[in-house]
Structure 1
Amino acid sequence: MTASTTPKIRAELLAFLAELGIPVTTHDHPPLYTVTDSQALRGTIPGGHTKNLFLKDKKDSFFLVTVDEEATVDLRQIHHLIGASGRVSFGKPEALMELLGVVPGAVTVFGLINDASARVKLVLDATLMENAVINAHPLTNEATTSIANADLLRFVEATGHDAVILKVSG
Structure 2
Amino acid sequence: MTNEERAQKVFDALDGLGIGYEVHTHPPVATVEEAKNHWDHIQGTKAKNLFVRDQKGKKHYLIVLEQDKPLNMKWFSEHFGLDKLSFASPERMEKYLGLQPGSVSPFGLINDANKEVIVYIDEEVMGGGHVNFHPNVNTMTLNMASEDFKKYLKAMGNKVHFVAIHMEG
* TM-score calculated relative to the size of structure 1: 0.91
- Determine if contact 1:81/1:168 at 8 Å carries over to the other structure: no
Letter matched to residue 78 of structure 2: H
Secondary structure, aligned partner of 1:31: coil
Q: Would you say the 8 A contact 1:116–1:159 is kept in 2?
A: no
Instruction: Say whether the 8 Å CA contact 1:47–1:133 is kept in structure 2.
Output: yes
1:168 match: 165
- Structure 1 unaligned segments of length 5 or more: list them: none
Q: Structure 2: which 5+ residue stretches go unaligned?
A: none
Structure 2: distance between partners of 1:28 and 1:168: 30
Could you tell me how far apart the structure 1 residues matched to 2:94 and 2:166 are?
A: 25
> What whole-Å deviation, never above 9, does each CA across 1:90-116 have from its counterpart, x for those lacking one?
001001011111111111011111101
Q: Give the match for residue 44 of structure 2.
A: 47
1:29 to 26, 29, 45: 26
Q: Which residue of 1 aligns with 2:73?
A: 75
Cα displacement (A) at 1:48: 0.3
Query: In the superposition, relative to structure 1, how do residues 47 and 15 fare at CA in structure 2: closer, same or farther (>3 Å)?
Result: same
Deviates more, 1:90-99 or 1:154-163: 154-163
**Aligned-partner Cα distance in 2 for 1:82–1:153:** 21
> By how many angstroms is 1:151 displaced?
1.0
Alpha-carbon shift at residue 128 of structure 1 (Å): 1.1
Q: Which has the higher helix share?
A: 2
- The alpha carbon displacement at 1:81 in A equals 3.3
Q: CA shift at 1:83, angstroms?
A: 3.7
Identity of aligned residues (%): 30
Deviation at 1:159, TM superposition (A): 1.1
Aligned residues: 165
